[in-house]
Structure 1
Amino acid sequence: MLTGPARKLVTAQLVTNIGNGAFATCSALYFTQVLGFSPAALGLGLAAAGVAGVLAGVPAGHLADRYGARRVAVLLVALTGVAAAGYLVLGSYPAFVAVACAWALFDRGGYAARQALMATVLSGPDLVQARARLRVVTNIGMAIGAGIGALALAADTPQAYRIVLGLDALTFLGCAVLLRRLPAAPPTAAAERQPGEPRLAVLRDRPYATITVLTMVMSLHVPVLDVILPLWIVLHTDAPKPLTAALVVLNTVTVVLLQVRVTTGIDTVATAVRATRTSALFLAGMCLFFAASDGRSAAVATVLLVAAAGLHVYGEMVQSSAAWVFAYELAPPDRQGQYQGFFNSGTAVSQMVAPAALTLLLIEGGRPGWLVLAAAFLAAGWATGPATARAHQYERSTP
């Protein structure tokens, strides 16, 4: 059981993900049907916000190192809530783009600061357990939020959608209150830089950048269930369409029940390297089962896709656990903020690019596309060993 700071961090994550789940369920309809934006305009505005979010991580993390992770995290999370409330008073499309970009800046920056805060106030077993619990409560919170959003969808009124968006804003403010109750996190970066020392050291750390890129490749599994699976079922198999929902539920329940257990023992760089290679094997196996389901009958395709989903969820849990270790253990203790910001900016880039890239590779490419993805998982998984060794050498050689 988690106690003290770890419990507060996990509770804060749960609160925000309830709001995020509700927002994700209703926001597209609010922006298009209530505010009247076209789908193309909405997509363009969200793309601009995505770019803003990617650029926010490293500077926000640096501020967390410089001025204290708790102070910066509380401020940015509260500002995210204010920006979310801005969606309720929009009067024009340019205002929407401005609010969306502000929201992304504060949200991604706040996430980087929270990651630094976790490394500051937790250590050892508490940090390992908190990492696993955060992923569990992310799924639980998103599910609860989606249920709340479903009620708004059933009502299908502007007021119902506005209530959901207001709830989302309040959850960020509630998260800020919870973070404020954590122990103070003093600045970790020196107030004055040494001669020749770069302000943002992470931008010169090529081994850490390599680990970040390899993690991006391993994270290509993320859009498989929610983006690729429904398209694959409809266009490449005779499996029933409701199978998509069943496999998403299977994934969510499995993560909730097993993520903490799977994470146990993945707490050093060496064990994380082994876990990444295990994940690569499972994810490559997932690709082979997906490829085998191409053109199959309903019964055969269903069996193959259920097997693929089982391989996917285990590979996903192991990969995420290993990624947490790389992100923290390969970062200098006094630069956790900017390093976590950089690492999570890589994740944000993957989330922006992967859906479109995988749709082209897998839905248009079919079986050969799955084989290419399997090879990418295996190559990235086995490259983590040499990459982490270079990262250790870089760390030892850096004053």
Structure 2
Amino acid sequence: MTKTPPQRLLTLAQWSNSVGDGAYYTTSALYFTQIAGLTPARVGLGLTIGWAVGSLAGLPLGRLADRRGPRGTAVLLALATGSAVASFTLVRGFVPFVLVACAYAAAQAGLAAARQALLAGLVPAGERTGLLARLQSTLNAGLAVGAGLGGLALHAGTRAAYLAVFAVDAVSFLVCALLLLGLPRAASVPVRPHGGLGVLRDRPYAVVALLNTVLLLRLPLLSLVLPLWITERTGAPAWLVSALFVLNTAAVTVFQVRAVRGVTGLVGATRVLRRAGWVMCAACAVFALSAGTSARVAAGVLVVGAVLQVAAEMGQSAGSWQLSFDLAPADRVGEYQGLFGTGVTVARTLGPLVLTTLLVEWGPPGWLLLAGATLAASYAMGPAARRAAAGREGDAGEPGAPRSAPATRRSEA
């Protein structure tokens, strides 16, 4: 009997996660307020604290994956995430809610870093960005299916329906753990001793990660900012929010794999990031033009802006994936991915406050400021990445290779 290729198992694990997460994201806010009895303000504060903790946990958990082996670490963190989801059903107060939210966010952040390290250990360097594109397409397709399941629970509106959604999400992480357990062990790589600050001592890579965080400020656009912008600043109908979400999800599902073609090496990654920066700049300008227009005009302008935004999103994802792996030492991929992945949690934590102030309150000038910041970060990625690559070559002779130093062997958990 032939073994299932690692790429397929990773894709199935991604599918399992995304279906459960789609259902969870659709229903969790109403469950916490209507069933668990928390106020919206406390839910928002608790989740903010949770994701802040998650952003700090990704780096040490990524380092753990490097030292103990990414497969075993990923399996344990998938089980921990499922347990945290199940624990949400028992929450009846603010303090327990915050504690479970911290555990959930930390496990999610660590799982993302461990899976990236596992992918790096099982998939040849030239195939990683293409596989990440397929995983992103799978993620969006799964989120759409999960959102449909969540919609059924919202329609029912009962405690049992909400609990069923949380059960589905918890089971999805159990399935993910079983799939990851079926993967072969990643090749052992010598782990070099390093100081307590670890990856934070690699300032050029930290700068690249910081610039990527600026680009990731677009994350709350679709879920939070555009709905507020549409209802408060334009005459477009509220249902357009759902249509733009479907447009974005479908576009990523269909075109993300194509968007990574030709994105190889440092030059290709920085080129696509600059191009995506200009596309995002155009998207911001188009969104700004929708302010104060009639329903029909606003709807048309917003659709054009959404098309440009998702095109920029796919380009930014392709370029950042390539850089995150190419600039990381082979023996510390988990730790480096842990730092790079904090950009997502930081953007989701700070993005809502920054973007609602910048765009919804300031209006068109705010869109232009966002465009300028995105373009500046996109162009700064080139010299920052070249400096990081030069430092890696100076230490080891080639980008991504381990430096010459006494080392211990990493054991697979």
Q: TM-score by structure 1 length? A: 0.95
Offset of residue 182 of structure 1: 0.5
Distance 1:189 1:28, change over 3 A: farther
CA–CA separation in structure 2 for the residues paired with 1:96 and 1:230: 27
Residues 246-257 of structure 1: pairs in structure 2 closer than 5 A: 246-257=243-254
Distance 1:156 1:256, change over 3 A: same
Tell me the residue number matched to 1:136: 137
Offset of residue 189 of structure 1: 4.7
Q: Is the 8 A contact 2:50 2:102 kept in 1?
A: yes
Offset of residue 27 of structure 1: 1.1
Offset of residue 238 of structure 1: 1.3
Q: TM-score by structure 2 length? A: 0.92
Output the amino acid matched with 1:257: V
Output the amino acid matched with 1:97: V
Distance 1:316 1:108, change over 3 A: same
2:225 paired residue among 228, 231, 239: 228
Unaligned runs of 5+ residues in structure 2 are 396-402, 404-413
Tell me the residue number matched to 1:145: 146
Aligned length: 393
Tell me the residue number matched to 2:90: 89
Tell me the residue number matched to 1:333: 330
CA–CA separation in structure 2 for the residues paired with 1:101 and 1:336: 24
Tell me the residue number matched to 1:42: 43
* 1:19-75 deviation line (CA, Å, top 9, x unaligned): 111111111111111111111111121112111111111101111110111011111
Tell me the residue number matched to 1:205: 202
1:393 paired residue among 386, 390, 395: 390
Q: Is the 8 A contact 1:284 1:378 kept in 2?
A: yes
- With 218-227 and 127-136 compared, the bigger mean Cα shift is at 218-227
Offset of residue 125 of structure 1: 4.5
Output the amino acid matched with 1:163: A
Correspondence 1:285 to 2:286? no
Q: Is the 8 A contact 2:122 2:187 kept in 1?
A: no
Residue aligned with 1:89, SS: coil
Offset of residue 187 of structure 1: 4.5
Residue aligned with 1:362, SS: helix
Output the amino acid matched with 2:11: V
Tell me the residue number matched to 1:363: 360
Offset of residue 300 of structure 1: 2.0
Residues 367-378 of structure 1: pairs in structure 2 closer than 5 A: 367-378=364-375
CA–CA separation in structure 1 for the residues paired with 2:92 and 2:240: 40
Q: Is the 8 A contact 2:113 2:341 kept in 1?
A: yes
Output the amino acid matched with 1:233: I
Output the amino acid matched with 2:119: M
Offset of residue 282 of structure 1: 0.3
Residues 171-182 of structure 1: pairs in structure 2 closer than 5 A: 171-182=172-183
Q: Is the 8 A contact 1:276 1:319 kept in 2?
A: yes
* 1:162-198 deviation line (CA, Å, top 9, x unaligned): 11111111110110000000011255353x72xxx31
CA–CA separation in structure 1 for the residues paired with 2:241 and 2:103: 34
Unaligned runs of 5+ residues in structure 1 are none
- Percent identical among aligned pairs is 46
Residue aligned with 1:77, SS: helix
Output the amino acid matched with 1:247: L
CA–CA separation in structure 2 for the residues paired with 1:27 and 1:277: 37
Tell me the residue number matched to 2:215: 218
Q: Is the 8 A contact 1:286 1:308 kept in 2?
A: yes
CA–CA separation in structure 2 for the residues paired with 1:377 and 1:104: 27
CA–CA separation in structure 2 for the residues paired with 1:367 and 1:156: 38
Tell me the residue number matched to 1:55: 56
CA–CA separation in structure 1 for the residues paired with 2:268 and 2:98: 43
Output the amino acid matched with 1:160: A
Output the amino acid matched with 2:17: T
RMSD: 1.4
Residue aligned with 1:266, SS: coil
Output the amino acid matched with 2:317: S
